[in-house]
Amino acid sequence: MPVKPLPFGKAQAQQIAAQYPTPFYLYDAAGIRRCVRALHQAFAWNKGYKEYFAVKALPNPAILRLLKEEGCGVDCASYTELLLAERLDLVGDAIMFSSNDTPAEEFAYARRLGAIVNLDDISHIEYLERHGGLPGAICCRYNPGAFSLDRNAIMGDLHDSKFGMTYDQLIEAMRILKAKGVQRFGLHAMLISCALDEGYYAALAEKMFLLALDIREQTGVTVSFIDLSGGIGIPYRPHEAPVDIARVGKAVRAVYERLVAPAGLEISLFSELGRFITGPYGYLVSTVLHEKHTHKDYIGLDATACNLMRPAIYGAYHHITALGKEDAPCTHTYDVTGSLCENNDKFAVDRMLPRLEAGDIVAIHDAGAHGYSMGYNYNGKLRCAELLLEEDGSVTLIRRAETPADYFATLDTSGLFGDLK
């Protein structure tokens, strides 16, 4: 199985666990940097290309700081995400505020920070005018309804998607924004999620470039940036191949040179990748607490769905490596569980693994995006620490584990928990 080798082994995991008890998240700084550099390389041909990291994927300031060093901006979708950006001095054009059903105070905050605003609905033009005012650079999100990306035979239907504007609304929005004096115009669309098809971005770009030409013809508005959003996936399963981002960049370039350059346009491309950048470089590290043999064989971890929800709610596959047993034959079939009082609290079902026993440490792969950030406190479980494996091999605590005091913090007026540390 072509599973990417772990950037740490059993000895280091044990050493870390002695200081920061499992479970914890461990992020591989070198891997994240490599990924971003490859992304930037792939789109270096495009003047103004910028990656706006989707904060929701991994909202940790240490990660965002690392990404800022690499030249990334941030895609923010809420008040606290804007606050996080501001504290890291990521402001102005470094923020793409891509939200929907947006509260007034969030538009106002985004405007105070000078963010580029991505409008999800035509009615938000007036709403934003009232709550913060229209910015100089504005982007509109497109929802094509049913679509086909012909070159890839990707077909889909966003009729049930709450996001974006219809074609007619988009044209109308451009006219209105132009009349209101907006200077820089952008387009945004996200058609699919977690695509491993390397043609996706090129096919989306073609659709958006044609739309930009259409808009120029119909409204006189010149689109100067196109946000291809997220949607590039990662291989969760061992037999899946990772997306070759250099090929993606090359394919988008070919479309650009065919459609955009001849039309005398210059369009900067943006992306809002999250999962692609941090997903493969985060591990949930957990210790086996129990083995249980009833109608099936179970391995019980000290992590639960509260740490990583995707397997429980989506049935998502996350590869699991037993540290120190990387080369042992997978002779046992286990359900790997957490301790929630929910039968879906399983990290794996019928998974072939080496023989495991209490005390073994396992790494759950591809947990670097939508992992910690989707964590919760069901059953009163506390969320765990996040650690950064630095490029020199050292480990930095970048988020401490929750304590009971954190868990009970919003009950401060109850008078019951004031003494908790």
Nearer to a copy of itself, 46 or 118 (CB): 118
Residue among 19, 123, 183, 333 that touches a copy of itself (CB under 8 A): 123
Q: Are 282 and 368 in contact (CB under 8 A)?
A: yes
Nearer to a copy of itself, 214 or 291 (CB): 291
Angle between helix 200-219 and helix 245-259 axes, rounded to 10 deg: 30
Residue among 132, 231, 235, 300 that touches a copy of itself (CB under 8 A): 300
Residue 241: CB minimum distance to a copy of itself, A? 27
Contact range with a copy of itself by CB under 8 A, out of 28-36, 164-172, 179-187, 238-246: 164-172
User: Would you count residue 87 as binding a copy of itself (CB under 8 A)?
Assistant: yes
Q: Which two tokens stand for residue 31?
A: 């891997």
Kindly report the CA angle at 339 between 333 and 342, in degrees rounded to 5? 90
Residue 418 burial by Cβ neighbours in a 10 Å radius (0-12, 13-18, 19+): exposed
Q: Which amino acid is at 6?
A: L
Task: Give every CB contact of residue 266 below 8 A, 6+ residues apart in sequence.
Answer: 47, 224, 260
Nearer to a copy of itself, 253 or 310 (CB): 310
Nearer to a copy of itself, 259 or 306 (CB): 306
Please give the size of the binding site for a copy of itself, defined by CB under 8 A: 91
Torsion-angle region of residue 125: left (phi > 0), alpha (psi -120 to 50) or beta? alpha
Kindly report the CA angle at 236 between 242 and 13, in degrees rounded to 5? 105
Nearer to a copy of itself, 100 or 148 (CB): 100
Residue among 174, 383, 387, 388 that touches a copy of itself (CB under 8 A): 383
**Which residues in 65-84 contact a copy of itself (CB under 8 A)?**
77-81, 83-84
Helix (H, G, I), strand (E, B) or coil at 402: coil
Nearer to a copy of itself, 368 or 375 (CB): 375
Give 155's DSSP letter: E
Q: Which two tokens stand for residue 42?
A: 């792939």
User: Would you count residue 401 as binding a copy of itself (CB under 8 A)?
Assistant: yes
Residue among 246, 330, 382, 395 that touches a copy of itself (CB under 8 A): 382
Contact range with a copy of itself by CB under 8 A, out of 7-15, 199-207, 237-245, 409-417: 409-417
Residue among 108, 335, 355, 390 that touches a copy of itself (CB under 8 A): 335
User: Would you count residue 359 as binding a copy of itself (CB under 8 A)?
Assistant: no
Question: What distances in angstroms separate CA 248 from CA 46, 161, 253, 257, 293, one per listed residue?
Answer: 13, 26, 9, 14, 47
Task: Give every CB contact of residue 147 below 8 A, 6+ residues apart in sequence.
Answer: 155, 156, 157, 158, 191, 207
Give 352's DSSP letter: E
Residue 120: CB minimum distance to a copy of itself, A? 8
User: Would you count residue 224 as binding a copy of itself (CB under 8 A)?
Assistant: no
**Which residues in 252-281 contact a copy of itself (CB under 8 A)?**
none
> Residue 185: beta bridge partners?
138, 223
**Which residues in 98-117 contact a copy of itself (CB under 8 A)?**
98-103
- Tell whether the torsion through CA atoms of 404, 406, 409 and 410 is positive or negative: negative
How many residues are present in the chain? 421
Residue 286: CB minimum distance to a copy of itself, A? 11
Contact range with a copy of itself by CB under 8 A, out of 174-182, 210-218, 231-239, 283-291: 283-291
Q: Which two tokens stand for residue 73?
A: 């901006």
Nearer to a copy of itself, 69 or 412 (CB): 412
Question: What distances in angstroms separate CA 152 from CA 155, 198, 206, 303, one per listed residue?
Answer: 8, 9, 12, 40
User: Would you count residue 294 as binding a copy of itself (CB under 8 A)?
Assistant: yes
User: Would you count residue 163 as binding a copy of itself (CB under 8 A)?
Assistant: yes
User: Would you count residue 19 as binding a copy of itself (CB under 8 A)?
Assistant: no
